[in-house]
Structure formats: structure tokens, C-alpha cells
Structure 1
Amino acid sequence: MDFCFSDTRIGVTHANGTALLDTVVARLAARQGFALATINLDHLVKLSHDPEFRAAYAAQDIVVADGNPIVWLSRLAGRPVNLLPGSDLVLPLARAAAWLGVPLSMIGATAEALDGAARRLRDEVPQLNIGILHAPPMGFDPQGEEAQIVLARLERMGPGLCFIALGAPKQERFAMLGRRLAPQTGFASVGAGVEFLSGHQNRAPDWMRALAMEWLWRALRAPQRMAPRYLACLAILPGQAMAALRQRHTQRGERERA
């Protein structure tokens, strides 16, 4: 599934969790880092008008589907992918880091949330080595001096995994810089995943997620913030659906000519 903008094409690179974890383990075992982003409709809105965000996304090595609309669009395009939200990847990625014996660092959120998430991870994955925990201040520049200092510390640690909980587009921009300054580190943008883990945010109940209604849970909890975001997402859906159908038609034509 590809999403096309004026100067950039961004594609979902891994269709399921098994393929994703295989890549993560292989790269970290080879002392190669990566940047992992989880694309959703809000990201597509931002990508449509933010060239810096597009550049950051183009620098990601791994892109997976975060949000049921992305999954539905992939089916329309004839290239179905599974739902892989960043918050669902936290524990599997932490277990992979523990199995490989590499440290797990976390950047973003608050000091309290990072400490809480670290305690929870130690309970869930006792053999995990916790690395750097850094809660940046308000106004943090993901490519500024403080970011460079944190990335220098990660690079000195050697191969490792780093969860980024800065929100889009900061986390993807931080990961882009990290690929250059800490090339042995795997960066995973997990958004609210750290705060879900620590209990500083409550995720939608399982039954709402099963019915693809997590968006409603978020909207009801923060209507003033989420309503404009969801309206913008709704506005781009028809165009994205048409683009997905064009991809399906093009793919079918290529198969017939082969």
C-alpha cells in the first residue's frame, strides 16, 4: 500500500507482525539500526501539507499500519496489511531487545511516565536492560542541540532499541536524525504507547478496539482536541479511497500484461 504526495511516495513496508519482528531482530543482531513509523490518517493529513514531515517519513526504514482506516485502504488497494499500532508493538519489541541482549531506551513523555513504563517493562520482561530514559522539556527541538546530545549518548552505548514517545511529527524527525547520528540504534515511534504502559493514559477497552471504535473513545475523552483532527481525517478519506482503487486497477493491469 503506497501513499503518494507531490514529491514523495510512502509505502507500508511490513504487512504483519511476524515480518516486522523478523526484520527488527535481524537488523539489531547485525548491529544495524532502523527507524520504525506507524502510519495513520492523521499522519496522512500532516504529510499532505508538511514537506519536512514527508522528508522524515521518507527516511523511515519500516512503516506499518496504525489505524483501521489504513487497513481498510490497503484492502481496497488489493495489498492487505494487518493492524500494527505502536502501542501494541511495545512489549514484543522489548522482548526482542531482551532476547538479543541490547538495551532499551525511551525518549519523550514525562519523567514519571518513563519511570512507570520502565518498572512495568522490568516486570513483564525481567531480563531486559533499561538504557537511557530522557523526558525532554516543552518546546523540545527533535533535531536541535539537546536531541544531538541524547543521540550521542545512544551511539556510545552501541546497538540498542529506543522507543520515541514525542508524537508526530517530532518523533519521526528525531528518528531521522538518529539514523545519522546513532546508526546502530533501532528507533521505534510508539506515540502514547509509553504512557499506556505506565498507566498515565488509559487506552480504550478491548471491546471498543475489537469493534474498531478506539477513535470514539479518544474523541469522547478529549473532544476539543480530537474533533478537528478527526474531521480533517474524514475529509481526506474519499480521495485516499480513490487512490487505493487506482492502485488496485494498476496492479491488476500489470498482472495481466505479465
Structure 2
Amino acid sequence: MSTTPPTHRILGIDFFDGSAKEAIDIMRTKGGLLVVPAAPALKDLDRSPDYRDALLNADLAITDSAFMVLIWNRLQPTPIKRLSGLEYLRELLLASDIREPGNVLWIMASPVSAKRNLDWLARQGIVIPQDYVYMAPMYGSAPIDDPALLERLNRLRPQHVIVTIGGGTQERLGLYLKRNLAYRPAIHCIGAAIAFLSGDQVLIPVWADKYYLGWLFRSFAEPKRYIPRYWDARKLLAIMLRNRGRLPALKS
């Protein structure tokens, strides 16, 4: 009899501690919302109520943040394994139901990103019909409301929805879809992971992802954009030292 992989409660969120294949099997069977929290967004857990709500109401949270995993494994006697969004996506794209036209709707960040991502997917033998690509508007910080996306998903009813927009926003969009769709697909918030494969962002080799070096590749590729972002993520250390497994108090 198969057993469900364990979870570890970190900052009040139950993080999945299993393989990419196990996570995908759960999503395929049960549907719902999968989130891939990264340190630059996690550091705002105590001051961003909508982001916090999305993580707490996700059906599966995976340990993409190398920084979080390193801190946790220094603080606690029982370590947790890292499962990056990139590793998860690589495994997801091998699944036959993901490769089937009309079974997945992709939410893209911009027309330029969409073209690069779709061209790369086509080279992998994954052809996405035009109606199954949705260009995300600029959602901003206000509560998300996207009736056009809801209408399309309810009409097409794909089994999977893959969200490739930025962290902090994609989780809020995923929860909006989970709460408002007329059916329950698997919603995979994988953010920039596909960009590391398609060339829309710097290419990150498997070995670099395995050894927690993806952030370094991004920082070398776009230092003005990513060095301040990752430097700001250092605030996660203090939050984890204070709270460990507890949900941080929400600041006004």
C-alpha cells in the first residue's frame, strides 16, 4: 500500500516532502492548487495578507526555496528535502496528459515570454492550441478578478492549468481560480521555471538547480534586477528564527 509523503510545517505552511513524481500524482488525482514559494516572496508572509491566504489555502506547497530549506535544516533535527519548481516542471512535462493538446491551459506573463515558451514546448513535441494560451493582464496588488479567464476555463475545462507569472501574484491568481471555477482542475503555479528551459530567462542546468545555484545564475544574467531581490530575501532568516513552524503574526 502506498503512503502519502510527509509534510513539514514551516511558518504555518505544510510543505510537501516527497518527489516531483509523487507531487504530480497527487495533483493529477485530487486537483487543486500547487504553489512553489520562493524566498523573495516568502519574506512578505507577515505583511501580505492575500499572498499569505493563498499559501495557507493551497493543496500542495513544495520546497522551492533553497534558502528556506537551508535555514530549516540548520534549525530542526528532522531535515526536509528541496523540490524546486524547475525539477517539478521537468517531471510534469514528461506526463502524457500534459503533452495531450487541449488538456492544459497555459497562463503566460507576456507576448514575448509566450512566444519563447511556446516555441520551446513545440520543439519538445508539445503543441498548445491557441485558445489554450491566456495572456495574463497586469493584476496589480488589488484583489484579483478576471472573469474572462474564468469563462475560458469553464468553457474549455482543461484538466491542468499551468501559471507562469511572477511569484506573489501567481499564488493569488491560483487561489482565485480554485475558489471561483465551476470545476476542479490541477492548478500548477510554477512561475519562471519554464523560462529557465525556454531561454526566456537564463538557462539553469540540472546540476546548478540540484546544488541550489539557480539564484546565482539569475544574478549573473541580470544583476540589477536580481541582486537587490535576493539581498532583500535575507529578511526571511529573521522571520524563520522567530517563528520556525508557527505562522508569523500579520503586521498592520
Instruction: Identify which of 68, 71, 85 aligns with 1:70.
Output: 68
Write the letter of the residue equivalent to 1:34.
G
Listed as ranges, the gaps of 5+ residues in structure 2 are 1-7, 247-252
| Residues 187 and 21 of structure 1, relative CA distance in 2, 3 Å threshold | same
Counterpart of 1:218 in structure 2 is 218
How far apart are 1:179 and its partner, in Å? Answer: 0.5
8 A contact 2:197–2:204 mirrored in 1: no
Cα deviations by residue, 1:67-86 (Å, 9 ceiling, x for unpaired): 22232234343443332222
Larger Rg: 1
Output the CA distance in 1 between the equivalents of 2:160 and 2:27.
9
Where does residue 164 of structure 1 map in the other structure?
163
- Greater helix fraction, Structure 1 or Structure 2: 1
Q: Distance in 2 between matches of 1:25 and 1:97?
A: 11
Q: Is the 8 A contact 1:164 1:171 kept in 2?
A: yes
- Give, in angstroms, the shift of residue 169 of structure 1: 1.5
The answer to which of 212-221 and 173-182 deviates more is 212-221
Which residue of structure 2 lines up, in the alignment, with residue 15 of structure 1?
A: 18
Amino acid of the structure 2 residue aligned with 1:13: F
Q: Distance in 2 between matches of 1:14 and 1:155?
A: 32
Structure 2 vs 1, CA of residues 169 and 12 (structure 1 numbering), >3 Å: closer, same or farther?
A: same
Residue matched to 1:58: 56
135-144 or 230-239, larger mean C-alpha shift: 135-144
> Quick one: distance in 2 between partners of 1:204 and 1:228?
20
Change (3 A) 1:238 1:45: closer
| Corresponding position of 1:2 | 9
Q: CA deviation at 1:45?
A: 0.8
How many residues get paired?
A: 234
Deviates more, 1:41-50 or 1:10-19: 10-19
Amino acid corresponding to residue 3 of structure 1 in structure 2? I
Does 2:207 align with 1:204? no
TM-score (norm 2): 0.78
Gaps of 5+ in 1: 28-32, 248-258
Where does residue 185 of structure 1 map in the other structure? 185
Q: Write the distance in 1 (CA, Å) between the matches of 2:236 and 2:184.
A: 37
Tell me: higher relative CO, structure 1 or 2? Use CA pairs within 8 A at least 6 residues apart: 2
Counterpart amino acid of residue 67 in structure 2: P
What RMSD over aligned residues (CA atoms) do the two structures have, in Å?
2.8
Check the 8 A contact 1:159/1:184 in 2, yes or no: no
The 3-state SS of whatever aligns with 1:25 is helix
- Which residue identity is paired with 1:57? L
> 1:206 deviation in Å?
4.5
Letter paired with 1:190 = I
CA distance in 1 between counterparts of 2:187 and 2:39 reads 21
Aligned-partner Cα distance in 2 for 1:16–1:78: 21
How is 1:106-125 mapped onto 2 (pairs within 5 angstroms)? 106-125=106-125
Distance 1:149 1:142, change over 3 A: farther
| Partner Cα separation in structure 1 for residue 111 and residue 177 of structure 2 | 21
